Amino acid sequence: ARAKQEYASYLRECLHFRPAFKAFGLRWIRFAEEEPHLFRLLFWSGKLQGDFPERVTEMFADLLEPLLLEAENEFSLCETDARWLFQHMLVQANGIASLALCGEMELSEAAVSRSLSESCMSMVFYLKIKNGGLDTALAERMIAGIDRLPEEKR
């Protein structure tokens, strides 16, 4: 329980950044690099039975609400699509974290940030096309910000 609380506190700091959604993914990955034993205890111990994104969503439910709201507003998504996006981005971040933890991948924060942006953009475009509403202004804004790291909110 203490490990989960410590990790939740670490992740909660993402809410001080914009976009918090991206900062969450970067912090997820950074924690695996900075606290490998704790990360393994939380996510590799076999305690998370069932659907990984759904279980993590339950673990950090209080943190999820502002992240979903940001995604809904930033990308003009409904709550269901924002949740789908979050869960898929979580799998992406966890995959990068796991590869880094195993020593299989070393990427700079800028490279990881770009990878998360590209994945997010692809998934948002998929949702928009699926729902018949891809708008060029959103696409241009996302492409323009692809290399931007999260910035602290003022």
Blockwise average pLDDT, block size 10, the chain, 154 residues: 81 90 92 88 69 77 90 94 93 90 82 92 91 81 81 79
CB atoms within 10 A of CB 100: 19
CB 153 within 8 A of CB 18: yes
User: What is the pLDDT at residue 104?
Assistant: 76
Amino acid in the structure at residue 23: A
State the residue for tokens 């939740």: 8
Q: What is the C-alpha separation between 29 and 107, in angstroms, rounded?
A: 11
* pTM, entire model: 0.85
